[in-house]
Amino acid sequence: MAVSTATAPELTHEQVQSILVKPLEAVSQFLAAGPRIFDTDGNAIRLPKLGGATSPAWYGENEQITNSDVDFDEITLLPSTIKSVKTLTRFSNELARQSVVSLDAAIKDRLVKDVADKLDTAFIAGTGDAGTTPVGILNYAGTQSVATVGAISFDALLDGWALALGANVNLDAVKWMMRPETFVALRKAKDTQERYQLTPDPTQDGVFRLFGAPVIITNRIPVVGTTTKTTQAVLADFSQIAVARDQAPSVKILDQTFGDYDQQAIRVTARYDAAPLNPEAVVILKGITA
């Protein structure tokens, strides 16, 4: 019988979309925040960005206009050195036959979460590992920052807003990203009459917004230090962050590789990269006492 899309162990593009790509975008906090995603064919992708400004001036009638050269700049995503996230899970054929739950669905959910966690760790706090993994948003070059915040306060948040507004951010795409204890410290803020400043009515559901922008709560932002522990928070226009995605994230059923053990396996591979199109649209609040 001829091989078909129904019998081939390599899942079709539509199946990969529903099994891996779409759930991955939903589970990953960074991908769900709304960066611009570009699919590639596995090769590097170059994205143009604005270079230096020209020098317009006022001229009178018949005056010669001074020539101004335009500088071009670009960012490169998914260079050949970027590695892939890969995972493989083996299971016995007995378990596949006797499981009282949908084993493939359970494994899929597990793999999607694990891959999303790995990507979020890199996208948020990654150092790049000498160009082999994505650089995280906390380590982008050229970002703006509010230094030595200390105890988190609403004034520090407004200082971040001032920098972001000066970078012409898209207000509809701006989001906060911070650790749980940082957000809770803000939730504990009270006025002189002991009234909470965020969601004053304790019977109401928590509103995860600060000065109108949604808040992403994540433990991927590290805490550093021993005696004096500090952390960071981010205010970013995610529409000005680009994510390159290898066009063929792969989910493969290995039903023969471990045949001598009477086992099957599911292998998942995914390759991503990220970088800011406008680094100044990312504001880092540094030195927050944890």
Please tell me the distance from the alpha carbon of residue 245 to that of residue 168, in angstroms, as a whole number. Answer: 27
List CB contacts of 76: < 8 A, sequence separation 6 or more. Answer: 44, 45, 46, 47
Q: In this model, does residue 3 exceed pLDDT 60?
A: no
Where do the CATH 3.30.2320.10 domains begin and end in the chain? Answer: 142-240+279-289
Please tell me the distance from the alpha carbon of residue 257 to that of residue 32, in angstroms, as a whole number. Answer: 35
Please tell me the distance from the alpha carbon of residue 157 to that of residue 232, in angstroms, as a whole number. Answer: 12
Write the pLDDT tens digit of every residue in 215-243.
999 999 999 998 889 999 999 999 999 99
Please tell me the distance from the alpha carbon of residue 20 to that of residue 107, in angstroms, as a whole number. Answer: 11
Please tell me the distance from the alpha carbon of residue 244 to that of residue 53, in angstroms, as a whole number. Answer: 27
Please tell me the distance from the alpha carbon of residue 140 to that of residue 232, in angstroms, as a whole number. Answer: 14
Terminal Cα-to-Cα distance of the chain (whole angstroms): 63
What's the confidence (pLDDT) of residue 2? 43
- Average pLDDT of 47-70? 83
- Tell me the CATH class for 142-240+279-289: alpha beta
Where do the CATH 3.30.2400.10 domains begin and end in the chain? Answer: 13-49+72-135+242-276
The DSSP H or E segment spanning 91 is strand 85-92
Please tell me the distance from the alpha carbon of residue 26 to that of residue 122, in angstroms, as a whole number. Answer: 17
pLDDT > 90 in the chain, percent = 53
Q: In this model, does residue 286 exceed pLDDT 60?
A: yes
Provide the 8-state DSSP code for 121: H
Distances in Å between the alpha carbon of 205 and those of 167, 199, 208, 215, 274?
A: 33, 8, 9, 15, 34
Write the pLDDT tens digit of every residue in 59-109.
999 999 988 877 777 899 999 999 999 998 888 988 888 876 677 677 878
Q: Choose between 280 and 1: higher pLDDT.
A: 280
What's the confidence (pLDDT) of residue 51? 67
Which CATH code for domain 13-49+72-135+242-276? Answer: 3.30.2400.10
Query: DSSP E strands: which ranges in 131-281?
Result: 144-146, 174-178, 209-210, 213-217, 230-237, 241-246, 250-254, 263-270, 272-276
62: left (phi over 0), alpha (psi -120 to 50) or beta: left
Write the pLDDT tens digit of every residue in 138-179.
999 999 999 999 999 999 999 999 999 999 899 999 999 999
Q: Choose between 20 and 9: higher pLDDT.
A: 20
Q: In this model, does residue 288 exceed pLDDT 70?
A: yes
Write the pLDDT tens digit of every residue in 119-133.
999 999 999 999 999
What's the confidence (pLDDT) of residue 226? 87
Q: pLDDT band for position 5 (50/70/90)?
A: very low
Entry field: residues in the chain: 290
The pTM assigned to this predicted structure is 0.85
What's the confidence (pLDDT) of residue 13? 66
